[in-house]
Structure 1
Amino acid sequence: MRGRGRMLAVLLVLAFAVAGGRFLYKWYGPGPLGKEATFLVPDGSTLTSVAQKLEKEGAIASANSFRVHARVLGSPAPVKAGEFGLPAHASPAQILSILQTGKPLRRMVTIPEGMPSVMVYDRLMATPLLTGKIAVPPEGSVLPDSYDYERGESRAEVLKRMQDAMKKTVAELWAKRAKDLPVKTPEEAVTLASIVEKETGKPGERKLVAGLYENRLKEGMLLQADPTIIYPITKGKPLGRRIRQSEIQAVNDYNTYTRVGLPVGPITNPGRASIEAVLHPASTKALYMVADGTGGHVFAETLEQHNANVAKWFAIRKARGDL
């Protein structure tokens, strides 16, 4: 009898050991996820709802088993809302750890310097992982930059971060502005910066272009900035053709060929560098500029010098076959 008792005890120990091993293997062993995947935990999710979603998406074999193992072997910390990356064959233990302590995936949407608000709208609406609708934001209200977002985040929230960044940047730069500027408000600074942004593709020219336009403002001269002709026609998108004479002569709130001073508002969303250029312009006597054929400009202090530069530019265009 003693021998049978000992045998039974040994068998029980072995049975418990096997059962315990299986219990541990189900938690720490590889899971059924065949390849790397992302998993979204909605706001307000519980361990039960997450377990059911994991089973439905094939990341774990059983929601019930996951809950039991999590309560016995896992951390009591709550799961976090967000989108998470799950490696192929991640164990249930690894998945729970990722959802409790991992960093949610962040995705990026980029607004280049000089992108007008209609195109900012288009870009946000075309980002498929964002939700909800927005209106076209006011021109000049968005700071060009790269912004991160989570899957399922609303477009309104992302747009608000872009606009808050512009407000913060303008306030910071305005407080450090140079003295005796012709722009008298932050709004005027953004408007002129939008013209500077559109007028030059060379970063090193920004302060010189800003200085030229500020000289014109001080002198009461027409700014004669071509992008201000185009804006009322396309709302900042490329015109795709030459400007017509009738458009140069058009009288409206933006055309600086017929309107003295600044346009009624910005013609694009200027970047930080263009705003800085307007608030710290180059010291220059230049009043005129014309393209030089390289993406930059030739500057002049007198109309006579300017006319000579224009003649050179027309010669370049003729040689290229543009005329």
Structure 2
Amino acid sequence: MPKKIPNWLFYGAALPITIAAATVASSYWWIWASAAPSSLGTKIRLTIDDGMPTQAIAQELESAGVIRSSLALRLWLQWLSIRGEQSVVLRSGTYDFATNQSLSEVVAQIRTAKSTEVRFTIPEGWSIAQMAELFEKEKFFTAAEFVAATQRLSPKRRDWLPNNIPSLEGFLFPDTYQILPSEATPDRIIDLMLDRFEQVALKLYREDQASKPKVKISLADWVTLASIVEKEAVIESERSLIAGVFWNRLRRNMRLESDPTVEYAFNIKQTPESPLTLEQVRMPSPYNTYLNEGLPPGAIASVGLASLKATLDPASTDYLFFVARFDGSHVFSRTLDDHEKAIQDIDKKIPQKSR
């Protein structure tokens, strides 16, 4: 009888063979997984959103045919991290990939943010003038070109736009946008922002007014009043209360007496240490709600969804006045006497605040 091979000898010989086979197999897999999916160089446009997890990005790239393996991408990022690369972050943006790019080339393109489209953000409460300054700073076009474009109110632009507005102020929806550099013209950007207004704000307005609205209001007046709420409200919990105060004043034919309308009319920026003066408040302008009853001729800023909603659903309150504190909150009052006392109390603290 032949001698039986000891187990230790069998496993001792099998282990190196297994390791070698696994190494060869993994090497072949890596060569395949990291290679370009195709030699044709077909273009694939893909958008990576802000905050998108790496695993989701990898899966998106694989599904689109930009890379062969999402696992390989994650392994490659880990390897770059181990090597001490300063940044292995995959940046958001819209990219034009080619199917003849290797895995490392795809990752390098995303890490260096060679995005096909440029991105810009319009914050809530910005005026057309502030938008124009941004676009000029980003070298899209001059501020004057953008302002002029917002004043071209052809009916062909949007059939739902009110006829009596002086400009597109208030109808350019604040959001983050992406656009090809070659398409970054004033009219193209305006179209993007009007599209977003139509999708978000106009949809909200039509649904609200078609049901049993808490308040009945025209589209133009809604946007105008909401823009004043937007500029007055700092703390979210006060937004509908501020809207309620303005609605109360309008129903009683009281002037709104809103500081932001004066600031907008005369391009003034007040501070706690340098508030509006009596002379400024008395300067004539259609936008000066200290002098004119009702709403101004148009909006004074871009309006976010929260202020739009608050204006359609104002708080039920008997307050008629409010004044801002230093932290952005407000003191609300029912009577003029209480309001004036609140103003005096806040004014007393201004010297202490400036020290």
State if a TM-score over 0.5 links the two structures.
yes
Answer with 1 or 2: which has the greater Rg. 1
Identity %: 29
Q: What secondary structure sits across from 1:231 in the alignment? A: helix
Shift, 1:298, TM fit: 0.8
Q: What secondary structure sits across from 2:342 in the alignment? A: helix
- Residue equivalent to 2:220: 187
- Residue equivalent to 1:148: 178
* Higher alpha-carbon deviation: 309-318 or 260-269: 309-318
Kindly report which structure 2 residues correspond to 1:22-101, keeping only aligned pairs within 5 A, or say none.
74-75=39-40, 79=43, 84=95, 93-94=100-101
- In structure 2, the CA distance between the partners of 1:201 and 1:145, relative to structure 1 (3 Å rule), is same
Answer yes or no: is 1:307 the counterpart of 2:340. Answer: yes
- Residue equivalent to 1:214: 247
Determine the C-alpha separation between the residues in 2 that align with 1:106 and 1:321: 44
Answer yes or no: is 1:165 the counterpart of 2:196. Answer: yes
Determine the C-alpha separation between the residues in 1 that align with 2:284 and 2:204: 33
The runs of 5 or more residues in structure 2 that have no matched partner are 1-31, 47-93, 151-167
Judge conservation of contact 1:292–1:313 (CA < 8 Å) in 2. yes
The runs of 5 or more residues in structure 1 that have no matched partner are 1-27, 31-72
- In structure 2, the CA distance between the partners of 1:153 and 1:80, relative to structure 1 (3 Å rule), is farther
Judge conservation of contact 1:111–1:144 (CA < 8 Å) in 2. yes
Question: Which amino acid in 2 is paired with 1:112?
Answer: P
Match for residue 230 of structure 1 among 263, 267, 286? 263
Computed over aligned residues only, the root mean square deviation of the Cα atoms, in angstroms, reads 3.4
- Residue equivalent to 1:247: 280
Determine the C-alpha separation between the residues in 2 that align with 1:207 and 1:242: 25
What is the TM-score with the length of structure 1 in the denominator?
0.65
Judge conservation of contact 2:135–2:141 (CA < 8 Å) in 1. no
Shift, 1:161, TM fit: 0.7
Question: Which amino acid in 1 is paired with 2:193?
Answer: M
Determine the C-alpha separation between the residues in 2 that align with 1:242 and 1:302: 22
Moved >6 Å (runs of 4+): none
Match for residue 282 of structure 1 among 296, 315, 338? 315
- Residue equivalent to 1:58: none
Match for residue 129 of structure 2 among 110, 118, 136? 118
Determine the C-alpha separation between the residues in 2 that align with 1:105 and 1:196: 37
Determine the C-alpha separation between the residues in 2 that align with 1:125 and 1:219: 43
Determine the C-alpha separation between the residues in 2 that align with 1:115 and 1:214: 23
1:43-98 deviations in whole A, cap 9, x for unaligned? xxxxxxxxxxxxxxxxxxxxxxxxxxxxxx734x8546898478xxx9x9327x97
* Paired residue total: 242
Judge conservation of contact 2:43–2:96 (CA < 8 Å) in 1. no
Answer yes or no: is 1:108 the counterpart of 2:119. Answer: yes
Determine the C-alpha separation between the residues in 2 that align with 1:272 and 1:197: 10
Judge conservation of contact 1:173–1:279 (CA < 8 Å) in 2. no
Judge conservation of contact 2:229–2:239 (CA < 8 Å) in 1. yes
Kindly report which structure 2 residues correspond to 1:131-142, keeping only aligned pairs within 5 A, or say none.
134-136=145-147, 137=150, 138-142=168-172
Shift, 1:213, TM fit: 0.3
Determine the C-alpha separation between the residues in 1 that align with 2:142 and 2:183: 9
Judge conservation of contact 1:248–1:257 (CA < 8 Å) in 2. yes
Shift, 1:125, TM fit: 2.8
Question: Which amino acid in 2 is paired with 1:164?
Answer: D
Determine the C-alpha separation between the residues in 2 that align with 1:110 and 1:247: 32
Judge conservation of contact 1:111–1:120 (CA < 8 Å) in 2. yes
Determine the C-alpha separation between the residues in 2 that align with 1:290 and 1:261: 20
